[in-house]
Amino acid sequence: MVLQRNTDVYIWGWGRAGQQVHILPSWTTDTVSCTVSGDARWKAKVSTPDGGGPHTIKLQSHDQYLVLNNVLVGEVWLCAGQSNMQWSARNNLKEIKQILPTINNKNIRFLQVSNLAAQAPQDNIFDQWTECNPTTAESFSAIGYFFAERLQTELGVPIGIINSSWGGTSAEFWTPKEMIDEDPELIKNALLQKKAPRKPHQPGVLWNSMVYPLVNYGIAGVLWYQGEDNTISYSGYDKLMQTMVSSWRKAWNSEFPFYFVQIAPYTYKYDVPNAALLREQQARTALTLSHTGMVVTTDLVDNIKDIHPQKKKAVADRLADLALVYPYGKGAVDFQSPIFKGYQTESDKIRISFHHLQGDLVVKGKEIIDLFIAGEDQIFHPASFKLKGNELLVYSKEVKKPVAVRFGFTNTSTPNLFTDTGLPVAPFRTDNWHVF
């Protein structure tokens, strides 16, 4: 396994009620002791050193003795979500399949959490840590592997990646049920999820079995790629994510960073731009929830009819860029995609400003794809543009008195406006008009 470095981590288990448990990690001469409770549980806090290993941890209680071998200390991240986080070389992702024979790094460790649902919070999982090699990497999250590889190279310490993801699952399943039950809007949206034999369908059941058992385990942060299954209830997604992330942080008693991927362009079978509206909700979460960041994927899709884009390494690298700045303090400029900040009407033009943008904007091509402008009649026309450093000036001969701009605001849009560091600008709209 890998334990989180330079912090206090919990080691816990079960034993005979009333007996003492003694824990001796090889990186210290100090023994940590605790007493088994009346319901046979014990938990002890152990201070970890800087990255390194392998170490051993010896545990003894009366006549029981256990040694944990090959323990590394480094950085631990939890990956969660649905299929785009879950997918691996076994799902024919060419980027990782091609390099699979060369993957062999004992300083990267995987913990794959089994796809099991439960009606009540579980105490344990029955999965094991493994070393990173061609066999274990084949079935592990491609994003998780590429993220770990990047961090291991940049930080020079062991990296542990826990993958707790399940294809086709909504965020309600990953949120404690009592948090859903407290809010009528969240209850209503959860009921929109359709039953299917290949996945659970009730709030909280994956929190219970695939997250709750990990809560005592020290982590540096969470990576999240999910949202496709919540396009049916897009309007409440920001509230749902605020609720879910806050509940996770409360359970861990940690304001850990939570970095997520905005859903990719895809031909959803809706008569309305549900995906665009959900992306809008995701951008709202990124701007209002502390220690979060959003990876935009509009330029990483090779086929808008495939809900599983092939390009997972670039997604992982963008997540790693966020993590390297916080919590690891690696300085960077324009390391995340710009998100719409505000607009100002200037005669027959509208000036757009952005969060997270210090450098210049760049257009790859002559015209900006899916850029539209409208007047008070709410009829959108293809727009022309001028770049003014880190601001965008939008106008059209068809609209003399503009009041609104939309950029990439469709389910399938793959627009071409970027930062000069190569990151796509997040889709946006300046209006709040009815979009049906």
Return the C-alpha torsion angle 408, 409, 411, 414, nearest 10: 0
Based on the domain organization, do 50 and 91 belong to the same domain? no
Three-state SS for 15-51 is: CCCCCEEEEEECCCCCCEEEECCCCCEEEEEEECCCC
Q: Give the model confidence (pLDDT) of 56-78 as tens digits.
A: 999 999 989 999 999 999 999 99
d(CA 405, CA 359): 22
Taking Cα atoms as reference points, which of 72, 211, 153 lies closest to residue 328? 153
Helix axes 237-252, 274-288, angle to 10 degrees: 40
Q: Report if residue 436 sits inside a domain.
A: no
Task: Kindly report the CATH number assigned to the domain that includes residue 146.
Answer: 3.40.50.1110
Q: Are residues 278 and 170 in the same domain?
A: yes
The number of distinct structural domains making up the chain is 3
- The answer to whether residues 119 and 42 belong to one domain is no
Q: Does 86 share its domain with 66?
A: no
Domain shared by 297 and 408, yes or no = no
Q: Within this chain, do residues 275 and 357 fall inside the same structural domain, yes or no? A: no
Report the share of the chain in percent with pLDDT over 90.
Answer: 96
Domain boundary among 35, 50, 70: 70
Asked if residue 270 and residue 131 are part of one domain, the reply reads: yes
Q: Which of 341, 410, 343, 349 is nearest to 375 (CA)?
A: 349
333 in any annotated domain: no
Residues 31, 147, single domain; the answer is no
Please tell me the pTM assigned to this model: 0.96
Is the pLDDT at 256 greater than 70, yes or no? yes
Residue 134 CB contacts under 8 Å (≥ 6 apart), including other chains: 100, 101, 102, 103, 104
Residues 144 and 8 occupy one common structural domain:
no
Domain span including residue 62:
2-70
Q: What are phi and psi of 412, to 5 degrees?
A: -115, 0
Q: What is the CATH number of the domain that holds 13?
A: 2.60.40
330, part of any domain: no
Looking at the domain assignment, is residue 335 inside a domain? no
C-alpha angle 59-60-62 in degrees, rounded to nearest 5: 165
Interatomic CA distance for residues 265 and 299, integer angstroms: 9
142 plus 217 within the same structural domain: yes
77-103 pLDDT, tens digit each: 999 999 999 999 999 999 999 999 999
Position 332 in a domain: no
Same domain (yes/no): 109, 251: yes
Domain boundary among 51, 70, 89: 70
Domain endpoint, select from 45, 70, 95 = 70
Least Cα distance to 411 among 324, 307, 337 occurs for 307
Query: Which percentage of the chain shows pLDDT scores above 70?
Result: 100
User: Is 121 domain-assigned?
Assistant: yes
The token duo for 275 is: 């995906």
Give how far Cα 404 sits from Cα of 216, 375, 377, 381, 385, Å.
Answer: 48, 7, 10, 11, 14
Residues 247 and 285 in one domain: yes
pLDDT at 222 > cutoff 90:
yes
Whether residue 436 is predicted with pLDDT greater than 80 in this model: the reply is no
> Is 435 within a domain?
no
Tell me, yes or no, whether 258 lies in a domain: yes
136-137-140 Cα angle (round to 5): 95
How would residue 338 be classed by pLDDT, with cut points 50, 70 and 90?
A: very high
pLDDT per residue as tens digits for the range 344-392 = 999 999 999 999 999 999 999 999 999 999 999 999 999 999 999 999 9
- The phi, psi pair for 230, rounded to 5°, reads -100, 5
Query: Residue 435 pLDDT more than 80?
Result: no
